[in-house]
Amino acid sequence: MYAETFARLIEELKKLPGIGPKSAQRLSFHVLQSSRQDVDKLVEAIKQAKAMLKHCSKCYNITDVEPCKICSDDNRGKNQLCVVAEPKDLLAIERSGGYQGKYHVLGGLISPLDGIGPESLRIKELIERLRREKVEELILAISPTTEGEATNIYLSKILKPLGVKITRLAYGLPIGADMDYADEATLSKAFQGRNELVV
CA distance 71 to 7: 44
Beta carbon of residue 6, minimum distance to a copy of itself (angstroms, whole number): 6
104: which strand partners? 83
Task: Tell whether residue 42 is a contact of a copy of itself (CB under 8 A).
Answer: yes
The three-state DSSP-derived secondary structure of 42-91 is HHHHHHHHHHHCEECCCCCCEECCCCCCCCCCCCCCCCEEEEECCHHHHH
CA distance 189 to 199: 23
Query: Quick one: which of 85, 87, 89 has its CA closest to 55?
Result: 87
Amino acid code (one letter) for 125: E
What is the H or E stretch that residue 39 is in?
helix 36-52
Task: Tell whether residue 165 is a contact of a copy of itself (CB under 8 A).
Answer: no
| Interacting span for a copy of itself (CB under 8 A) from 44-52, 74-82, 108-116, 158-166 | 44-52
| Interacting span for a copy of itself (CB under 8 A) from 11-19, 117-125, 128-136, 151-159 | 11-19
Task: Tell whether residue 73 is a contact of a copy of itself (CB under 8 A).
Answer: no
The 92-131 contact track toward a copy of itself, x by CB under 8 A, reads --xx------------------------------------
Residues contributing to the site for a copy of itself (CB under 8 A): 1-6, 8-9, 11-13, 15-19, 23, 25-32, 34, 36, 38-39, 41-43, 45-50, 52-53, 62-65, 68-70, 86-88, 91, 94-95
